[in-house]
């Protein structure tokens, strides 16, 4: 093939520079021709580019690993799949098959879980906005409801009157577990006494029965000790509530937040070095439970893990559609996926693999997305050999939050496929087209162009 002419420039070479782990990021750049046996070529040929690809094997393995880590150390463990992390029906179905109940944070997610056949009593309903109607439905269906604020308590009391029965609820706590900035906007603060006041209010109302405590200290928590602190405070509070108000706390829901093997921007160490294993989290948490709980007490331990279960199972295949030189000489590429699909690239530095061996000198390059927006940058300062148009980049891990936060902005959202454990490929979300964009719109007759189809 004839190569297009490009004006020569003089550039400093960066090949072979080692970081302190004795490794050059250039050499670390890997070639990936398949995902669990499904070739990148055939995936793109059949389903187009960009394309989200999920590995069923990885999903099931992560779930098994986490469940084993906790259930071999504590006798009463329940896993609740955090829908918002990825609520593609196929992903949720795998999590439910593995034994997770649903953890939802909105009416929409609640409806999604119910539509998938999950009964109300297997849904944990969290979140700061639950409409009165959604709350009433969840109560009637026996969902586990974790209250975020006082107004929700008033709503639930109203529902008890309508239904003429008492309602069991949990409350969400926020507390200082040593993670800063502290997530204090959800639930009731423990240290200031706000949480205790809320329980007092619940007791005085006489209509609600507190039987659970919930807390989610944040996401991508890199310290196992933060969970130990969380447990210590939650158990202490549970006993205080039991003693003072005669409520019996049956579950401690410690939220999610375990990291995936992704790389937070600004964290120098690679994830394999920087992050504890899931067994280390389980050990810290169950050890803290055994220290804080009275002998014979085994309240249900609920985990709402999202990212740690799904992130590494997700890949995004994107194609290089153009290469150019910027005015300052920087090599730039335009890819067909950008911030519209990887909003998460604001916080994470993803692995970028290529679908083929590419020879040539590595250069610090920038990868732009397809949006006609200056902020649409997938990565900067990446050492890449000269990529030709059509090279596919495989970006990972992107299983957590990328699909659910993807935007229909400027471009259509792409297809998503699941690679099964035997290498079989199933389409789990069709690529969008113009009908998806226009479906909900109404054009007043007087504005219709006569030439419109
Ligand atoms: C209440 C609640 N539970 C669970 C999760 C899942 O968190 P992660 O993906 O960090 O495990 C979140 C995410 O923010 C959350 O808000």
For 40-87, write each residue's pLDDT tens digit.
999 999 999 999 999 999 999 999 999 999 999 999 999 999 999 999
Specify whether 326 is located in the same domain as 220. no
Q: What is the pLDDT of residue 141?
A: 98
Nearest CA to ligand 1 atom 10: 257
User: Going by CA atoms, what residue is nearest to atom 16 of ligand 1?
Assistant: 216
pLDDT at 145 exceeding the cut of 50 = yes
Do 274 and 338 belong together in one domain?
Answer: no
Whether residue 3 is contained in a domain is answered as no
Residues in contact with ligand 1 (CB, 6 Å cut-off) = 82, 85, 103, 126, 216, 219, 255-258, 304-308, 400
Say what the pLDDT of residue 167 is: 97
pLDDT in tens, 310-356: 999 999 999 999 999 999 999 999 999 999 999 999 889 999 999 99
Residue 2 counted as domain residue: no
> In the structure, what pLDDT confidence band is assigned to residue 265 with cuts at 50, 70 and 90?
confident
| Average pLDDT of span 261-275 | 88
* pLDDT range class, residue 16, cuts 50, 70, 90: low
> Which one of 85, 302, 311 would you pick to mutate in the ligand 1 pocket, going by the greatest count of ligand atoms within 8 A of its CB?
85
Residue 7 pLDDT level (bands cut at 50, 70, 90) = confident
Q: Quote the number of domains for the chain.
A: 2
Which of the four pLDDT bands, split at 50, 70 and 90, describes residue 14? low
Q: Are 409 and 376 in contact (CB under 8 A)?
A: no
pLDDT of residue 1: 62
Domain holding 324: CATH number?
2.40.37.10
Distance 35 CA to ligand 1 centre (A): 27
- Calculate what percentage of the chain has a pLDDT beyond 70: 95
Selection from 306, 293, 201 nearest residue 252 by Cα: 293
**pLDDT computed for residue 28 by the predictor:** 52
β-pair type (351-354, 392-396): antiparallel
| 320 lies in the same domain as 269 | no
For residue 175, report the phi and psi dihedrals to the nearest 5 degrees: -155, 165
The pLDDT of residue 103 is: 98
Q: Which of 63, 70, 82 to mutate to test the pocket of ligand 1 (most atoms within 8 A of CB)?
A: 82
Separation of CA 50 and ligand 1 centre (Å): 27
Atom 14 of ligand 1 has which residue's CA nearest to it? Answer: 219
The answer on 341 and 225 residing in a single domain is: no
Q: What is the pLDDT of residue 19?
A: 57
Q: How far is the CA of 397 from the centre of ligand 1 (A)?
A: 17
> For all residues of the chain together, what is the average pLDDT?
94
The backbone torsions φ and ψ at residue 221, rounded to the nearest 5 degrees and listed phi first, read -80, 120
Residue among 125, 128, 219, 262 whose CB has most ligand 1 atoms within 8 A, to mutate: 219
Q: Examine residue 320 and say whether the peptide bond preceding it is cis (omega within 30 degrees of 0).
A: no
Atom of ligand 1 nearest to the CA of 309: 11
Please check whether residues 344 and 271 belong to one and the same domain: no
In a domain, 103, yes or no: no
Residue 255 and residue 215 in contact, taking contact as beta carbons nearer than 8 Å: yes
With 0-12 / 13-18 / 19 or more C-beta atoms within 10 angstroms meaning exposed / middle / buried, residue 371 is middle
The CA 387 to ligand 1 mean position distance, Å, reads 37
141 with 236, same domain: the answer is yes
Strand partners, 173: 188, 215
Going from the Cα of 254 to the center of ligand 1, the distance in angstroms, rounded, reads: 10
Is the pLDDT reported for residue 272 higher than 80?
yes
User: Measured from the CA of 258, which atom of ligand 1 is nearest?
Assistant: 11
Q: What's the average model confidence in pLDDT over 91-119?
A: 98
Residues 272 and 185 in one domain: yes
Average pLDDT over residues 239-265: 96
Percent of the chain with pLDDT over 90: 86
Domain holding 418, by residue range, is 25-53+312-433
Q: Which of 305, 324, 350 is the last residue of a domain?
A: 305
pLDDT of residue 125: 98
Exposure string of 215-229, with b = 16+ CB inside 10 Å and e = fewer, is: bbbbbbbbebebbbb
For a mutational test of ligand 1's pocket, the pick from 106, 177, 257, i.e. the residue with the most ligand atoms closer than 8 A to its C-beta, is 257
Atom nearest to 126 CA in ligand 1:
1
pLDDT at 26: 45
């Amino acid at each position: 093939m004839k190569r297009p002419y490009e004006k020569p420039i003089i550039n400093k070479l960066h090949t072979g520079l080692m970081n302190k782990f004795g490794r050059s990021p250039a050499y670390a750049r890997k070639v990936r021709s398949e995902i669990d046996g499904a070739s990148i070529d055939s995936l793109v040929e059949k389903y187009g580019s960009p394309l989200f690809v999920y590995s069923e094997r990885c999903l099931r393995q992560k779930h098994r690993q986490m469940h084993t880590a906790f259930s071999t150390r504590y006798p009463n463990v329940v896993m609740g799949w955090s829908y918002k992390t990825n609520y593609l029906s196929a992903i949720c179905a795998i999590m439910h098959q593995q034994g997770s109940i649903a953890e939802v944070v909105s009416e929409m997610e609640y409806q999604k879980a119910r539509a998938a056949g999950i009964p109300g009593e297997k849904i944990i309903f969290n979140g700061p906005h639950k409409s009165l109607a959604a709350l009433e439905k969840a109560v009637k269906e026996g969902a586990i409801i974790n209250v975020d604020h006082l107004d929700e308590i008033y709503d639930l009391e109203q529902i008890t009157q309508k239904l003429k029965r008492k309602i069991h609820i949990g409350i969400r706590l926020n507390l200082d577990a040593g993670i800063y900035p502290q997530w204090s906007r959800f639930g009731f603060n423990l240290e200031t006494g706000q949480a205790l006041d809320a329980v007092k209010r619940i007791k005085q109302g006489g209509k609600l029965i507190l039987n659970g405590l919930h807390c989610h200290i944040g996401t991508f928590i890199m310290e196992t000790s933060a969970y130990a602190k969380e447990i210590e405070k939650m158990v202490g509070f549970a006993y205080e509530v039991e003693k003072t108000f005669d409520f019996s706390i049956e579950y401690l829901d410690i939220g999610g937040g375990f990291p995936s093997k992704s790389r937070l921007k600004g964290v120098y160490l690679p994830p394999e070095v920087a992050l504890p294993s899931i067994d280390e989290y389980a050990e810290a948490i169950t050890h803290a439970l055994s220290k804080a709980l009275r002998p014979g007490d085994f309240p249900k331990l609920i985990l709402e893990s999202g990212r740690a279960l799904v992130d590494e199972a997700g890949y995004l295949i994107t194609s290089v559609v153009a290469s150019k030189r910027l005015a300052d000489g920087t090599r730039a590429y335009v890819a067909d996926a950008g911030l519209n699909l990887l909003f998460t690239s604001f916080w994470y530095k993803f692995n970028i693999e290529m679908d083929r061996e590419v020879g040539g000198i590595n250069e610090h390059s920038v990868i732009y997305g397809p949006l006609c927006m200056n902020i649409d940058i997938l990565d900067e300062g990446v050492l890449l050999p000269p990529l030709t148009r059509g090279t596919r980049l495989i970006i990972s891990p992107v299983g957590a939050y990328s699909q659910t936060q993807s935007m229909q902005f400027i471009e259509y959202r792409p297809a998503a496929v699941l690679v099964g454990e035997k290498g079989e490929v199933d389409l789990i979300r069709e690529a969008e087209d113009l009908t998806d964009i226009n479906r909900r719109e109404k054009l007043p007759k007087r504005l219709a162009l006569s030439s419109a189809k």
